[in-house]
Amino acid sequence: MPSSGDAAGRRPHVVLIPSAGMGHLVPFGRLAVALSSGHGCDVSLVTVLPTVSTAESKHLDALFDAFPAVRRLDFELAPFDASEFPSADPFFLRFEAMRRSAPLLGPLLTGAGASALATDIALTSVVIPVAKEQGLPCHILFTASAAMLSLCAYFPTYLDANAGDGGGVGDVDIPGVYRIPKASIPQALHDPNHLFTRQFVANGRSLTSAAGILVNTFDALEPEAVAALQQGKVASGFPPVFAVGSLLPASNQAKDPQANYMEWLDAQPARSVVYVSFGSRKAISGEQLRELAAGLETSGHRFLWVVKSTVVDRDDAAELGELLGEGFLERVEKRGLVTKAWVDQEEVLKHESVALFVSHCGWNSVTEAAASGVPVLALPRFGDQRVNSGVVARAGLGVWADTWSWEGEAGVIGAEEISEKVKAAMADEALRRKAASVAKAAAKAVAGGGSSHRCLVEFARLCQGGTCRT
Ligand code: UDP
Ligand code: UDP
Protein backbone atom coordinates (compact mmCIF):
# COMPACT_ATOMS: atom_id res chain seq x y z
CA MET A 1 0.00 0.00 0.00
CA PRO A 2 1.38 3.44 -0.81
CA SER A 3 1.68 5.65 2.25
CA SER A 4 -0.88 8.45 2.27
CA GLY A 5 0.21 11.59 4.05
CA ASP A 6 -3.30 12.26 5.28
CA ALA A 7 -4.54 8.78 6.30
CA ALA A 8 -1.38 7.84 8.15
CA GLY A 9 -0.96 11.31 9.65
CA ARG A 10 2.42 11.67 7.99
CA ARG A 11 3.77 14.26 5.61
CA PRO A 12 2.97 13.34 2.03
CA HIS A 13 5.94 12.13 0.01
CA VAL A 14 5.82 13.69 -3.45
CA VAL A 15 8.17 12.18 -6.01
CA LEU A 16 9.07 14.56 -8.83
CA ILE A 17 10.05 13.03 -12.17
CA PRO A 18 11.54 15.65 -14.52
CA SER A 19 12.69 15.01 -18.07
CA ALA A 20 15.93 16.32 -19.56
CA GLY A 21 17.21 19.84 -20.23
CA MET A 22 17.61 22.90 -18.02
CA GLY A 23 14.27 24.29 -19.19
CA HIS A 24 12.63 21.31 -17.46
CA LEU A 25 15.03 20.75 -14.58
CA VAL A 26 15.05 24.36 -13.32
CA PRO A 27 11.29 24.57 -12.61
CA PHE A 28 11.26 21.03 -11.15
CA GLY A 29 14.03 22.06 -8.75
CA ARG A 30 12.07 25.16 -7.79
CA LEU A 31 8.91 23.13 -7.16
CA ALA A 32 10.89 20.63 -5.07
CA VAL A 33 12.20 23.41 -2.85
CA ALA A 34 8.82 25.16 -2.57
CA LEU A 35 6.95 21.97 -1.58
CA SER A 36 9.58 20.76 0.86
CA SER A 37 10.40 24.03 2.58
CA GLY A 38 7.10 25.90 2.49
CA HIS A 39 4.27 23.41 2.05
CA GLY A 40 4.81 20.51 4.41
CA CYS A 41 5.77 17.82 1.90
CA ASP A 42 8.63 15.36 1.77
CA VAL A 43 10.08 15.54 -1.71
CA SER A 44 12.26 13.26 -3.81
CA LEU A 45 13.66 14.25 -7.18
CA VAL A 46 14.26 11.48 -9.68
CA THR A 47 17.71 11.85 -11.25
CA VAL A 48 19.05 10.15 -14.35
CA LEU A 49 22.82 9.98 -14.63
CA PRO A 50 24.79 10.89 -16.61
CA THR A 51 22.82 14.01 -17.51
CA VAL A 52 22.76 15.14 -21.14
CA SER A 53 24.52 18.44 -20.39
CA THR A 54 27.09 19.70 -17.91
CA ALA A 55 24.72 22.51 -16.90
CA GLU A 56 22.21 19.91 -15.67
CA SER A 57 24.72 17.96 -13.63
CA LYS A 58 26.09 21.14 -11.99
CA HIS A 59 22.57 22.34 -11.30
CA LEU A 60 21.59 19.06 -9.63
CA ASP A 61 24.74 18.98 -7.50
CA ALA A 62 24.12 22.54 -6.32
CA LEU A 63 20.45 21.83 -5.62
CA PHE A 64 21.06 18.73 -3.48
CA ASP A 65 23.90 20.51 -1.66
CA ALA A 66 21.83 23.57 -0.84
CA PHE A 67 18.61 21.70 0.01
CA PRO A 68 19.44 18.42 1.73
CA ALA A 69 15.74 17.96 2.57
CA VAL A 70 15.14 17.23 -1.13
CA ARG A 71 16.05 13.57 -1.59
CA ARG A 72 17.77 12.30 -4.66
CA LEU A 73 16.29 9.21 -6.25
CA ASP A 74 18.67 7.76 -8.84
CA PHE A 75 17.00 6.19 -11.83
CA GLU A 76 18.96 3.86 -14.09
CA LEU A 77 17.67 3.76 -17.64
CA ALA A 78 17.35 0.56 -19.65
CA PRO A 79 19.80 0.32 -22.58
CA PHE A 80 18.53 2.45 -25.46
CA ASP A 81 19.58 2.23 -29.09
CA ALA A 82 19.52 5.80 -30.41
CA SER A 83 20.43 4.71 -33.96
CA GLU A 84 16.70 4.30 -34.59
CA PHE A 85 16.51 8.11 -34.62
CA PRO A 86 19.45 9.40 -36.62
CA SER A 87 20.25 13.10 -36.07
CA ALA A 88 17.53 13.56 -33.43
CA ASP A 89 18.02 16.25 -30.78
CA PRO A 90 19.90 14.65 -27.85
CA PHE A 91 17.35 15.97 -25.36
CA PHE A 92 14.45 14.43 -27.31
CA LEU A 93 16.43 11.17 -27.36
CA ARG A 94 16.70 11.32 -23.59
CA PHE A 95 12.92 11.93 -23.39
CA GLU A 96 12.46 8.77 -25.49
CA ALA A 97 14.94 6.72 -23.44
CA MET A 98 13.14 7.77 -20.24
CA ARG A 99 9.76 6.97 -21.77
CA ARG A 100 10.87 3.47 -22.67
CA SER A 101 12.28 2.93 -19.19
CA ALA A 102 9.12 4.11 -17.44
CA PRO A 103 8.08 0.58 -16.29
CA LEU A 104 11.29 0.51 -14.21
CA LEU A 105 9.91 3.39 -12.17
CA GLY A 106 7.43 1.05 -10.44
CA PRO A 107 9.93 -0.65 -8.09
CA LEU A 108 11.71 2.67 -7.50
CA LEU A 109 8.47 4.30 -6.35
CA THR A 110 7.53 1.35 -4.12
CA GLY A 111 10.97 1.43 -2.51
CA ALA A 112 10.75 5.18 -1.95
CA GLY A 113 7.32 5.04 -0.28
CA ALA A 114 5.84 7.65 -2.60
CA SER A 115 2.36 9.03 -1.89
CA ALA A 116 2.02 11.19 -5.02
CA LEU A 117 3.92 11.89 -8.23
CA ALA A 118 4.46 14.95 -10.37
CA THR A 119 6.04 14.31 -13.73
CA ASP A 120 7.02 16.25 -16.82
CA ILE A 121 4.76 16.62 -19.86
CA ALA A 122 7.28 14.75 -22.01
CA LEU A 123 6.78 11.62 -19.85
CA THR A 124 3.08 11.95 -19.11
CA SER A 125 1.57 9.14 -21.20
CA VAL A 126 4.04 6.55 -19.91
CA VAL A 127 4.22 7.57 -16.24
CA ILE A 128 0.45 7.75 -15.65
CA PRO A 129 -0.03 3.96 -16.25
CA VAL A 130 2.84 3.21 -13.85
CA ALA A 131 1.28 5.47 -11.22
CA LYS A 132 -2.09 3.74 -11.71
CA GLU A 133 -0.51 0.34 -11.11
CA GLN A 134 1.03 1.69 -7.93
CA GLY A 135 -2.24 3.28 -6.81
CA LEU A 136 -0.62 6.72 -6.78
CA PRO A 137 -2.08 10.03 -7.99
CA CYS A 138 -0.02 11.35 -10.89
CA HIS A 139 0.20 15.12 -11.38
CA ILE A 140 1.97 16.99 -14.15
CA LEU A 141 4.27 19.98 -13.81
CA PHE A 142 3.95 21.71 -17.16
CA THR A 143 7.13 23.75 -17.49
CA ALA A 144 6.02 25.89 -20.44
CA SER A 145 3.24 28.45 -20.88
CA ALA A 146 -0.47 27.89 -20.27
CA ALA A 147 -0.94 28.72 -23.96
CA MET A 148 1.35 25.81 -24.81
CA LEU A 149 -0.47 23.56 -22.33
CA SER A 150 -3.73 24.42 -24.04
CA LEU A 151 -2.17 23.58 -27.42
CA CYS A 152 -0.89 20.27 -26.06
CA ALA A 153 -4.33 19.44 -24.64
CA TYR A 154 -6.25 20.45 -27.77
CA PHE A 155 -3.88 19.31 -30.53
CA PRO A 156 -5.04 15.65 -30.63
CA THR A 157 -8.67 16.81 -31.05
CA TYR A 158 -7.54 19.22 -33.76
CA LEU A 159 -5.71 16.43 -35.60
CA ASP A 160 -8.68 14.06 -35.31
CA ALA A 161 -11.02 16.71 -36.71
CA ASN A 162 -8.71 17.62 -39.57
CA ALA A 163 -7.39 14.17 -40.40
CA GLY A 164 -7.88 13.26 -43.98
CA ASP A 165 -8.15 16.78 -45.38
CA GLY A 166 -4.54 16.42 -46.50
CA GLY A 167 -3.78 20.08 -45.83
CA GLY A 168 -1.43 19.57 -42.92
CA VAL A 169 -1.50 21.64 -39.76
CA GLY A 170 -2.87 25.18 -40.14
CA ASP A 171 -3.92 27.83 -37.62
CA VAL A 172 -5.14 26.15 -34.44
CA ASP A 173 -8.08 27.89 -32.77
CA ILE A 174 -8.02 26.69 -29.18
CA PRO A 175 -11.47 26.78 -27.55
CA GLY A 176 -11.66 29.50 -24.92
CA VAL A 177 -8.06 30.60 -25.52
CA TYR A 178 -7.16 32.11 -28.90
CA ARG A 179 -6.03 31.21 -32.37
CA ILE A 180 -2.42 30.12 -32.65
CA PRO A 181 -1.32 30.93 -36.19
CA LYS A 182 0.22 28.20 -38.29
CA ALA A 183 3.52 30.08 -38.30
CA SER A 184 3.70 29.81 -34.49
CA ILE A 185 3.04 26.09 -34.22
CA PRO A 186 6.32 24.35 -33.23
CA GLN A 187 8.01 23.24 -36.46
CA ALA A 188 8.13 19.56 -35.53
CA LEU A 189 4.32 19.39 -35.18
CA HIS A 190 3.91 19.92 -38.93
CA ASP A 191 5.43 16.46 -39.40
CA PRO A 192 3.14 13.72 -37.99
CA ASN A 193 6.00 11.21 -37.94
CA HIS A 194 8.46 13.38 -36.05
CA LEU A 195 9.54 11.84 -32.75
CA PHE A 196 8.48 15.02 -30.92
CA THR A 197 5.02 14.97 -32.56
CA ARG A 198 4.40 11.36 -31.59
CA GLN A 199 5.34 12.10 -27.99
CA PHE A 200 3.37 15.38 -27.98
CA VAL A 201 0.16 13.76 -29.22
CA ALA A 202 0.40 10.76 -26.89
CA ASN A 203 1.06 13.06 -23.93
CA GLY A 204 -1.72 15.46 -24.95
CA ARG A 205 -4.24 12.60 -25.10
CA SER A 206 -3.27 11.35 -21.66
CA LEU A 207 -3.58 14.72 -19.88
CA THR A 208 -7.19 14.06 -18.88
CA SER A 209 -6.00 11.04 -16.87
CA ALA A 210 -3.71 13.16 -14.69
CA ALA A 211 -4.79 13.93 -11.13
CA GLY A 212 -3.85 17.60 -11.49
CA ILE A 213 -1.70 19.89 -13.62
CA LEU A 214 0.64 22.53 -12.28
CA VAL A 215 1.71 25.17 -14.78
CA ASN A 216 4.53 27.65 -14.28
CA THR A 217 2.56 30.78 -15.15
CA PHE A 218 0.30 33.20 -13.31
CA ASP A 219 -3.22 34.48 -13.93
CA ALA A 220 -2.25 38.02 -14.88
CA LEU A 221 0.34 36.87 -17.43
CA GLU A 222 -1.98 34.51 -19.31
CA PRO A 223 -5.54 35.30 -18.23
CA GLU A 224 -7.35 33.66 -21.18
CA ALA A 225 -5.41 30.41 -21.23
CA VAL A 226 -5.43 29.89 -17.44
CA ALA A 227 -9.18 30.55 -17.20
CA ALA A 228 -10.04 28.35 -20.19
CA LEU A 229 -7.99 25.46 -18.84
CA GLN A 230 -9.40 25.79 -15.33
CA GLN A 231 -12.96 25.98 -16.65
CA GLY A 232 -12.54 22.86 -18.79
CA LYS A 233 -13.10 24.78 -22.05
CA VAL A 234 -10.02 23.40 -23.81
CA ALA A 235 -10.72 19.72 -23.26
CA SER A 236 -13.62 18.14 -21.45
CA GLY A 237 -12.90 16.16 -18.30
CA PHE A 238 -9.71 18.13 -17.73
CA PRO A 239 -8.15 17.76 -14.26
CA PRO A 240 -7.68 20.70 -11.88
CA VAL A 241 -5.13 23.22 -13.18
CA PHE A 242 -2.89 25.07 -10.71
CA ALA A 243 -1.17 28.19 -12.08
CA VAL A 244 1.72 28.32 -9.57
CA GLY A 245 4.21 30.61 -11.35
CA SER A 246 6.52 32.19 -11.49
CA LEU A 247 8.13 29.40 -9.48
CA LEU A 248 10.73 31.20 -7.42
CA PRO A 249 14.46 30.69 -7.79
CA ALA A 250 15.95 28.28 -5.35
CA SER A 251 19.14 30.39 -4.95
CA ASN A 252 21.29 27.43 -5.75
CA GLN A 253 22.78 28.41 -9.08
CA ALA A 254 26.16 26.83 -9.63
CA LYS A 255 28.61 29.73 -9.94
CA ASP A 256 31.28 29.78 -12.61
CA PRO A 257 34.38 31.07 -10.80
CA GLN A 258 35.89 32.30 -14.08
CA ALA A 259 32.94 34.46 -15.04
CA ASN A 260 33.26 38.20 -14.32
CA TYR A 261 29.94 39.40 -15.62
CA MET A 262 28.58 40.70 -12.28
CA GLU A 263 31.60 42.97 -11.77
CA TRP A 264 31.14 44.17 -15.32
CA LEU A 265 27.43 44.89 -14.73
CA ASP A 266 28.27 46.74 -11.51
CA ALA A 267 30.44 49.11 -13.54
CA GLN A 268 27.67 50.05 -16.01
CA PRO A 269 25.18 52.92 -15.57
CA ALA A 270 21.65 52.14 -14.42
CA ARG A 271 19.32 50.78 -17.13
CA SER A 272 21.93 50.93 -19.89
CA VAL A 273 22.63 47.27 -20.75
CA VAL A 274 21.00 44.95 -23.26
CA TYR A 275 21.18 41.37 -21.95
CA VAL A 276 21.22 38.80 -24.77
CA SER A 277 20.69 35.09 -24.19
CA PHE A 278 19.06 32.21 -26.01
CA GLY A 279 18.74 29.75 -23.18
CA SER A 280 20.62 26.60 -22.43
CA ARG A 281 20.12 24.15 -25.19
CA LYS A 282 19.93 25.18 -28.83
CA ALA A 283 22.51 26.41 -31.24
CA ILE A 284 22.05 29.36 -33.55
CA SER A 285 23.69 29.25 -36.97
CA GLY A 286 27.04 30.98 -37.42
CA GLU A 287 25.50 33.31 -39.97
CA GLN A 288 22.72 34.40 -37.57
CA LEU A 289 25.23 34.86 -34.74
CA ARG A 290 27.27 37.23 -36.90
CA GLU A 291 24.16 39.26 -37.89
CA LEU A 292 23.28 39.53 -34.24
CA ALA A 293 26.80 40.65 -33.42
CA ALA A 294 26.69 43.34 -36.10
CA GLY A 295 23.20 44.43 -34.96
CA LEU A 296 24.33 44.83 -31.36
CA GLU A 297 27.41 46.70 -32.48
CA THR A 298 25.51 49.23 -34.59
CA SER A 299 22.78 49.70 -31.96
CA GLY A 300 25.40 51.65 -30.01
CA HIS A 301 24.15 50.21 -26.70
CA ARG A 302 26.08 48.37 -24.01
CA PHE A 303 25.42 44.64 -23.94
CA LEU A 304 26.06 41.41 -22.07
CA TRP A 305 25.76 38.49 -24.46
CA VAL A 306 25.78 34.83 -23.43
CA VAL A 307 26.75 32.76 -26.45
CA LYS A 308 26.13 29.03 -26.79
CA SER A 309 27.24 27.53 -30.07
CA THR A 310 26.16 23.89 -29.73
CA VAL A 311 23.00 22.04 -28.67
CA VAL A 312 24.82 20.32 -25.80
CA ASP A 313 27.28 22.41 -23.79
CA ARG A 314 29.84 19.58 -23.49
CA ASP A 315 30.48 19.87 -27.27
CA ASP A 316 31.06 23.63 -27.23
CA ALA A 317 34.72 24.15 -28.02
CA ALA A 318 34.46 27.01 -30.53
CA GLU A 319 36.34 30.25 -29.88
CA LEU A 320 34.21 33.39 -29.53
CA GLY A 321 36.46 35.32 -31.90
CA GLU A 322 35.87 32.76 -34.65
CA LEU A 323 32.14 32.59 -34.03
CA LEU A 324 31.41 36.30 -34.06
CA GLY A 325 33.62 37.48 -36.86
CA GLU A 326 37.07 38.99 -37.04
CA GLY A 327 37.72 42.04 -34.86
CA PHE A 328 34.23 42.09 -33.29
CA LEU A 329 35.36 41.46 -29.72
CA GLU A 330 38.09 44.08 -29.95
CA ARG A 331 35.75 46.70 -31.47
CA VAL A 332 33.07 46.32 -28.78
CA GLU A 333 35.47 45.80 -25.89
CA LYS A 334 34.55 49.07 -24.16
CA ARG A 335 30.79 48.50 -24.09
CA GLY A 336 30.12 44.82 -24.61
CA LEU A 337 30.86 41.68 -22.62
CA VAL A 338 30.49 38.41 -24.48
CA THR A 339 30.77 35.17 -22.53
CA LYS A 340 30.31 31.46 -23.02
CA ALA A 341 30.00 30.97 -19.27
CA TRP A 342 26.87 29.79 -17.51
CA VAL A 343 25.50 32.98 -15.96
CA ASP A 344 23.08 33.26 -13.07
CA GLN A 345 20.32 34.69 -15.23
CA GLU A 346 18.08 35.60 -12.28
CA GLU A 347 20.86 37.68 -10.81
CA VAL A 348 21.55 39.32 -14.18
CA LEU A 349 17.91 40.21 -14.78
CA LYS A 350 17.61 41.72 -11.31
CA HIS A 351 20.68 43.93 -11.83
CA GLU A 352 19.81 47.63 -12.08
CA SER A 353 22.02 48.17 -15.12
CA VAL A 354 19.96 45.75 -17.25
CA ALA A 355 17.33 47.51 -19.39
CA LEU A 356 16.34 45.01 -22.06
CA PHE A 357 16.39 41.23 -22.55
CA VAL A 358 16.90 39.99 -26.11
CA SER A 359 15.55 36.48 -25.57
CA HIS A 360 14.63 33.35 -27.48
CA CYS A 361 11.59 33.24 -25.15
CA GLY A 362 12.18 29.84 -23.64
CA TRP A 363 9.42 29.78 -21.05
CA ASN A 364 11.69 29.97 -17.99
CA SER A 365 13.37 33.03 -19.44
CA VAL A 366 9.95 34.63 -19.95
CA THR A 367 8.85 33.94 -16.37
CA GLU A 368 12.17 35.29 -15.08
CA ALA A 369 11.83 38.46 -17.18
CA ALA A 370 8.26 38.85 -15.89
CA ALA A 371 9.40 38.49 -12.27
CA SER A 372 12.20 41.04 -12.82
CA GLY A 373 10.20 43.53 -14.89
CA VAL A 374 12.81 43.60 -17.66
CA PRO A 375 11.23 44.23 -21.09
CA VAL A 376 11.80 41.51 -23.66
CA LEU A 377 12.73 41.81 -27.31
CA ALA A 378 11.59 38.40 -28.57
CA LEU A 379 13.79 36.51 -30.99
CA PRO A 380 12.20 33.05 -31.03
CA ARG A 381 14.19 30.35 -32.80
CA PHE A 382 12.52 26.95 -32.25
CA GLY A 383 9.82 24.87 -30.61
CA ASP A 384 7.31 26.67 -28.39
CA GLN A 385 9.17 29.97 -28.54
CA ARG A 386 6.80 31.73 -30.95
CA VAL A 387 3.81 30.75 -28.84
CA ASN A 388 5.67 32.19 -25.86
CA SER A 389 6.61 35.33 -27.79
CA GLY A 390 2.90 35.81 -28.49
CA VAL A 391 2.26 35.64 -24.74
CA VAL A 392 5.01 38.20 -24.11
CA ALA A 393 3.55 40.62 -26.65
CA ARG A 394 -0.06 40.17 -25.40
CA ALA A 395 0.95 40.75 -21.80
CA GLY A 396 2.89 43.91 -22.72
CA LEU A 397 6.06 42.40 -21.28
CA GLY A 398 7.87 42.86 -24.57
CA VAL A 399 7.84 43.27 -28.30
CA TRP A 400 7.98 40.70 -31.05
CA ALA A 401 8.41 41.12 -34.80
CA ASP A 402 6.34 38.09 -35.85
CA THR A 403 7.65 38.25 -39.41
CA TRP A 404 11.13 37.28 -38.24
CA SER A 405 12.13 33.81 -39.42
CA TRP A 406 12.56 30.64 -37.43
CA GLU A 407 16.10 29.36 -37.11
CA GLY A 408 17.01 27.37 -40.22
CA GLU A 409 14.33 28.93 -42.43
CA ALA A 410 15.42 30.60 -45.60
CA GLY A 411 16.94 33.94 -44.72
CA VAL A 412 18.41 35.14 -41.47
CA ILE A 413 17.30 38.18 -39.49
CA GLY A 414 19.53 40.99 -40.64
CA ALA A 415 21.81 43.13 -38.49
CA GLU A 416 20.06 46.35 -39.42
CA GLU A 417 16.63 45.10 -38.36
CA ILE A 418 18.01 43.82 -35.08
CA SER A 419 19.77 47.08 -34.42
CA GLU A 420 16.61 49.13 -35.13
CA LYS A 421 14.48 46.96 -32.85
CA VAL A 422 17.02 47.15 -30.04
CA LYS A 423 17.21 50.94 -30.31
CA ALA A 424 13.42 51.29 -30.40
CA ALA A 425 12.88 48.98 -27.40
CA MET A 426 15.59 50.74 -25.38
CA ALA A 427 13.88 54.08 -26.00
CA ASP A 428 10.35 52.81 -25.27
CA GLU A 429 9.28 54.28 -21.92
CA ALA A 430 5.77 52.85 -22.17
CA LEU A 431 7.19 49.36 -22.62
CA ARG A 432 9.41 49.82 -19.58
CA ARG A 433 6.43 50.90 -17.47
CA LYS A 434 4.30 48.01 -18.69
CA ALA A 435 7.03 45.47 -17.95
CA ALA A 436 7.35 46.95 -14.46
CA SER A 437 3.62 46.49 -13.96
CA VAL A 438 3.89 42.84 -15.06
CA ALA A 439 6.57 42.40 -12.37
CA LYS A 440 4.21 43.88 -9.77
CA ALA A 441 1.50 41.42 -10.81
CA ALA A 442 4.06 38.58 -10.69
CA ALA A 443 5.09 39.51 -7.15
CA LYS A 444 1.45 39.77 -6.06
CA ALA A 445 0.69 36.32 -7.51
CA VAL A 446 3.34 34.55 -5.42
CA ALA A 447 2.91 36.58 -2.21
CA GLY A 448 0.74 35.15 0.59
CA GLY A 449 -2.89 35.16 -0.60
CA GLY A 450 -1.91 35.72 -4.26
CA SER A 451 -3.32 33.51 -7.03
CA SER A 452 -0.18 31.38 -7.51
CA HIS A 453 0.41 31.03 -3.79
CA ARG A 454 -3.17 29.85 -3.27
CA CYS A 455 -2.79 27.34 -6.09
CA LEU A 456 0.34 25.89 -4.51
CA VAL A 457 -1.41 25.65 -1.13
CA GLU A 458 -4.33 23.85 -2.84
CA PHE A 459 -1.97 21.49 -4.59
CA ALA A 460 -0.15 20.64 -1.35
CA ARG A 461 -3.55 19.98 0.28
CA LEU A 462 -4.43 17.66 -2.56
CA CYS A 463 -1.17 15.77 -2.00
CA GLN A 464 -2.07 15.51 1.66
CA GLY A 465 -5.26 13.72 0.66
CA GLY A 466 -7.52 16.76 1.03
CA THR A 467 -10.10 17.87 -1.50
CA CYS A 468 -9.39 20.45 -4.11
CA ARG A 469 -11.31 23.66 -4.62
CA THR A 470 -9.75 24.85 -7.88
N1 UDP B 1 20.07 29.88 -17.78
C2 UDP B 1 20.99 30.44 -16.92
N3 UDP B 1 22.20 30.78 -17.40
C4 UDP B 1 22.56 30.61 -18.69
C5 UDP B 1 21.62 30.06 -19.58
C6 UDP B 1 20.37 29.70 -19.10
O7 UDP B 1 20.71 30.63 -15.73
O8 UDP B 1 23.71 30.94 -19.04
C9 UDP B 1 18.78 29.42 -17.23
C10 UDP B 1 17.66 30.40 -17.47
O11 UDP B 1 17.63 31.36 -16.44
C12 UDP B 1 16.45 29.49 -17.47
C13 UDP B 1 16.98 28.18 -18.05
O14 UDP B 1 18.39 28.21 -17.88
O15 UDP B 1 16.01 29.26 -16.14
C16 UDP B 1 16.70 28.04 -19.53
O17 UDP B 1 15.37 27.76 -19.72
P18 UDP B 1 14.49 28.42 -20.86
O19 UDP B 1 13.13 27.83 -20.74
O20 UDP B 1 14.56 29.90 -20.80
O21 UDP B 1 15.19 28.01 -22.21
P22 UDP B 1 15.73 26.60 -22.79
O23 UDP B 1 17.14 26.51 -22.37
O24 UDP B 1 14.86 25.49 -22.26
O25 UDP B 1 15.59 26.79 -24.28
N1 UDP C 1 5.94 19.67 -24.73
C2 UDP C 1 4.65 19.24 -24.75
N3 UDP C 1 4.42 17.91 -24.92
C4 UDP C 1 5.42 17.00 -25.09
C5 UDP C 1 6.74 17.45 -25.06
C6 UDP C 1 6.97 18.81 -24.89
O7 UDP C 1 3.73 20.03 -24.61
O8 UDP C 1 5.14 15.82 -25.26
C9 UDP C 1 6.17 21.11 -24.56
C10 UDP C 1 7.26 21.36 -23.57
O11 UDP C 1 6.73 21.90 -22.40
C12 UDP C 1 8.18 22.34 -24.27
C13 UDP C 1 7.55 22.61 -25.60
O14 UDP C 1 6.60 21.60 -25.82
O15 UDP C 1 8.27 23.53 -23.58
C16 UDP C 1 8.57 22.68 -26.70
O17 UDP C 1 9.48 21.63 -26.55
P18 UDP C 1 11.02 21.80 -26.84
O19 UDP C 1 11.62 20.51 -26.50
O20 UDP C 1 11.20 22.39 -28.18
O21 UDP C 1 11.49 22.88 -25.79
P22 UDP C 1 12.24 22.70 -24.42
O23 UDP C 1 12.45 21.24 -24.15
O24 UDP C 1 13.48 23.49 -24.58
O25 UDP C 1 11.33 23.31 -23.39
CA distance 356 to 379: 13
The verdict on whether 190 is a catalytic residue reads no
- Least Cα distance to 17 among 115, 124, 97 occurs for 124
Ligand 1 centroid – CA 319 distance (Å): 21
SS (H, E, C) 98-130: HHHCHHHHHHHHHHHCCCEEEEEHHHHHHHHHH
So what's the pLDDT on residue 1? 37
Q: Which ligand is nearest to the CA of 152?
A: 2
Which atom from ligand 1 is nearest to the alpha carbon of 23?
24
Q: What is the chain's mean pLDDT, rounded?
A: 92
Q: How confident is the model at residue 310 (pLDDT cuts 50, 70, 90)?
A: confident
Ligand 2 centroid – CA 145 distance (Å): 10
Q: Which of 142, 345, 391, when mutated, tests ligand 1's pocket best, judged by the most ligand atoms within 8 Å of its CB?
A: 345
pLDDT(253) > 70:
no
Is the sign of the CA dihedral 457, 462, 467, 468 positive or negative? positive
Average pLDDT over residues 71-81: 95
Ligand 2 centroid – CA 451 distance (Å): 25
pLDDT(250) > 50:
yes
pLDDT(241) > 70:
yes
Residue whose CA is closest, atom 15 of ligand 1? 364
CA distance 60 to 229: 32
This prediction has a pTM of 0.93
So what's the pLDDT on residue 468? 39
Ligand 2 centroid – CA 21 distance (Å): 10
So what's the pLDDT on residue 308? 85
So what's the pLDDT on residue 366? 98
Catalytic residue among 42, 89, 120, 384: 120
The verdict on whether 24 is a catalytic residue reads yes
- Ligand 1: list residues with CB < 6 Å: 21-23, 26, 277, 279-282, 306, 342-345, 362-365, 368
CA distance 439 to 368: 9
Catalytic residue among 24, 39, 59, 301: 24
* C-beta of residue 18 within 8 angstroms of C-beta of residue 120: yes
What is the per-residue pLDDT across 405-460, written as a single tens digit (0 to 9) for each? 898 887 899 999 999 999 999 999 999 999 999 999 999 999 999 999 999 999 99
So what's the pLDDT on residue 3? 39
Q: Is the ipTM of this complex over 0.90?
A: no
So what's the pLDDT on residue 296? 97
What is the per-residue pLDDT across 340-354, written as a single tens digit (0 to 9) for each? 888 999 999 999 999
pLDDT(8) > 70:
no
What is the per-residue pLDDT across 134-176, written as a single tens digit (0 to 9) for each? 999 999 999 999 999 999 999 999 999 987 677 789 999 999 9
Residue whose CA is closest, atom 24 of ligand 2? 23
pLDDT(467) > 50:
no
Ligand 2 centroid – CA 69 distance (Å): 29
Q: Which of 56, 95, 121, 154, when mutated, tests ligand 2's pocket best, judged by the most ligand atoms within 8 Å of its CB?
A: 121
How many C-beta neighbours within 10 Å does residue 181 have? 15
So what's the pLDDT on residue 315? 72
- Ligand 2: list residues with CB < 6 Å: 21, 23, 121-122, 143-144, 148, 152, 186, 199-200, 203, 281, 362-363, 382-384
* C-beta of residue 172 within 8 angstroms of C-beta of residue 158: yes
% of the chain surpassing 90 pLDDT:
79
Q: How confident is the model at residue 295 (pLDDT cuts 50, 70, 90)?
A: very high
Which atom from ligand 2 is nearest to the alpha carbon of 92?
19
CA distance 276 to 90: 24
So what's the pLDDT on residue 255? 67
So what's the pLDDT on residue 321? 85
So what's the pLDDT on residue 63? 94
Rounded-to-10 torsion of CA 446, 451, 452, 456 = 120
Asked if residue 246 has a cis previous peptide bond (ω within 30° of 0), the answer is yes
So what's the pLDDT on residue 326? 84
Which atom from ligand 1 is nearest to the alpha carbon of 382?
25
